[in-house]
Chain A
Amino acid sequence: MKVSPGALALKYFFVLLACAVVIYPLLWMVTMAFKPHPEWTTVAGLTWFPQNPTLQNFEFIFFGEAEGLVVSLDRTIVGPLIASLVTSICGTLLAVVAGTLSSYAVVRFGLAKTLPLSVLQLRLFPPLAVMIPVMVMWAFIGAIDTWWGLSLIYGIVTLPFAFWLMKTFFEEVPVEIEDAARVAGCSYWRVFYRITLPIVKPGLATCALFVFILNWSDYLLALLLTQKDWVTLPVYMATLTSAMGGQMYGMKAALGVIAAIPPVVFGLMIQKHLVRGLTFGALKQ
């Protein structure tokens, strides 16, 4: 089947155009992260690549001050970075463990048949419509601005994804394998732990990475449930101010770059399973 060179050229044109559109904003932010203050706006003439590339912005957010800058930060990136890491990881653990165990029970034991759909409804509603009582509850149990408070809500809201993703992976394990193990004398727990889990290990990894991306990318929940100590990276980035005020584009861009890297890297790693995760198993690649 020969594709005419004209058609191929046209295809490349559109593909390259689309890629250019994709890259444009990303490139702008990345280059901004390395630009010194004067180059942040068109006032001095706008360029793509910094005339005087600098690590000043990164220095600034990590150490609170940098050479050549008069302003200083009262809080560096270190706290929020740790906050993002800790809450994302803990939230992921919670979601994946709960989701894996319950989806296995639904798939193999036929228990809680309404669970799949009821778990889905958690994703249906705008968070702000239902967060008031959550905020009140969290305040009541002293979970506001704590690592465990944020991890808890993270685990809950990403549970649906973990559940559905693992459900599809479990459904792909032939019952016969587990039956054979049962006949050989394994208890249900042994079958699950020693036979099924190893088989779905790649699925488990995918699920963990997927959920981690979702947790790390959260903005609203952290905004609502943290104040100072456990502010996560996205919130920190959005509200970056210094004692002197001012726009701080370069620093924000640097923060944006740092915040964006883990999800993009993980996302590309689990590319093959993205469709499955995002459509709750309705589609597979």
Chain B
Amino acid sequence: MTDIKTNSASSRTKQKKQGYWAGVARDGNKMGFWFVLPTVLLLLFIVVFPLLMQLYLSVTWWTPLEGIAWYRAWEVFNWGENYWFQLTDSRVWRALWRTVLIMIIAVPLQFFLGMSLAYLFIDQFPGRKVFYSIMLTPMMVVPAVVGLMFFLLFQGTGPVNAHLGLPSTFSWLTDVNRAMISVIIADVWQWTPLMFLILLAGMLGVPSDQLLAARLLGGSNWQNFFKIILPRMKAVIIIALVLRAVECFKIFDLIFIMTKGGPGVQTETISLFLYKQTFGEFEWAYVAAIGLTILFVLSVIAAKGLAYMAKKSG
């Protein structure tokens, strides 16, 4: 694939813009309207009304325990005390911190491992196809099942201890420090293949004749990697990191099945904290408030990110 064609980027966007019928007849627009309708309705249904309801509930003391219907929540109106409370609630902050901790350890780890593996798979070698399929498997396994797998592995009486020669009293999932490590290991196991997949696709997108030219000019594999492959992968790297970071922030299934957030609250991430508040304490109004705050913060970050990207490619 040569990218020598002058103005290739702009001609591609031109094509994209022409990908739709510019002067569409009225009946075409009518059909288009009906086509978008289901999605728009579903979106409105799941975004608008719930958001309003969440806003409504978040400024009350409402909880489903007392048997009052939700629309009567105004009876326990509280002027946004939940919002105030969450700012001082150390449990919230600690849960957030634990989530961030997992993110800043797991995601870079997955990145480096994924990058290294991708590098191994650039060139053809016998069996590559088979090995490639094997490498992709972990991310296709149901997350809850991954949780179960590592739950079994990290049992005191399980294989990890047996193979490492550790006594069966050496606990992973119930140990204050090692619970976090176990969870991170499980997450890295499951999602490194995703990094591998994306980064490899990015690497293979580098025109091979440019790599050849670099080689012929005297560049070693290492040098070519850093001077040609890596710079051309900037966009791909960002995509991989952002995608993984967003998903990692949401982490739930794995931890819930492995440790339920324990021991104590050692592995209680924000999602787990919210779960406990929802089905343990039934403080639904409080959860609503925290939820909206998270929504707000993430939306601001996303908007800023999009604006930045638009500026760069504009």
Contact = CB atoms under 8 A, between A and B. Distances in A.
Interface of A: 3, 8, 11-12, 14-15, 18-19, 21-26, 28-29, 32, 41-43, 46, 97-99, 101-102, 104-112, 115, 117-119, 121-134, 136-137, 140, 155-156, 159, 163, 171, 175, 178-179, 187-189, 192, 213, 216-217, 219-220, 224, 234-235, 237-238, 249, 252-253, 256, 259-260, 263-264, 266-268, 271, 274-275, 278-279, 282-285
A132 B57 contact: yes
A285 B201 CA distance: 6
Interface stretch (B157-165, B173-181, B223-231): B157-165
A163 B39 contact: yes
Contacts of B112: none
Interface string B16-60: 101111101101110111111011101101110111011001000
12 contacts: A22-B138, A105-B35, A106-B36, A109-B28, A110-B22, A121-B302, A125-B298, A188-B28, A188-B32, A192-B31, A234-B142, A267-B140
Interface residues of B, number: 102
B291 A132 contact: yes
A256 B145 contact: yes
Contacts of A117: 306
B214 interface: no
Instruction: Enumerate the 9 nearest inter-chain pairs by beta-carbon distance, A residue then B residue, closest first.
Output: A267-B140, A129-B291, A109-B32, A41-B157, A133-B50, A102-B39, A234-B144, A105-B35, A128-B274
Given A111-B33, A155-B42, A260 B145 contact: yes
Nearest to A40: B157
B202 interface: yes
Contacts of B28: 109, 188
B135 A108 contact: no
Given A126-B249, A171-B19, A274-B136, A133 B39 contact: no
A19 B32 CA distance: 48
A275 B70 contact: no
A284 B112 CA distance: 21
Nearest to B21: A108
A132 B35 contact: no
Interface in B49-98: 49-51, 53-54, 57, 64, 70
A104 to B, nearest CB: 6
B21 A109 contact: yes
B36 A102 contact: yes
Contact of B120 (A14, A43, A131, A237): A14
Contacts of B202: 283
A175 to B, nearest CB: 6
Contacts, number: 285
A260 B140 CA distance: 8
Contacts of B101: none
Contacts of B213: none
B147 A238 contact: yes
A220 B256 CA distance: 10
Contact of B50 (A99, A137, A175, A219): A137
Q: Which of A175, A213, A219, A275 has the most CB of B within 10 A?
A: A219
Contacts of B171: none
B38 A101 contact: yes
B106 interface: no
Given A19-B131, A19-B135, A134-B50, 7 more contacts: A105-B35, A106-B36, A128-B287, A136-B64, A136-B70, A156-B45, A267-B139
Contacts of B121: 15
B290 A15 contact: no
A26 B138 CA distance: 9
A112 B271 contact: no
Contacts of A11: 120, 125
Interface SS of chain A: helix
A256 B36 contact: no
Given A128-B275, A283-B198, A263 B142 contact: yes
B270 interface: yes
B105 interface: no
B243 interface: yes
B19 A108 contact: yes
Contacts of A46: 157-159, 162
B60 to A, nearest CB: 12
Given A108-B19, A156-B42, A271-B133, A42 B144 contact: no
A239 to B, nearest CB: 10
B144 A237 contact: yes
Interface string B126-156: 0000010111111111111111111011010
B54 A133 contact: yes
A279 B24 CA distance: 31
Contacts of B284: 132, 136
Contacts of B201: 275, 283-285
B142 A132 contact: no
A249 B31 contact: no
Contact of A217 (B64, B143, B161): B143
Given A28-B152, A107-B20, A175-B20, A112 B36 contact: yes
A268 B133 contact: yes
Contacts of B116: 14
B250 A127 contact: yes
A118 B43 contact: yes
B184 interface: no
Given A18-B135, A110-B20, A111-B29, A264 B141 contact: yes
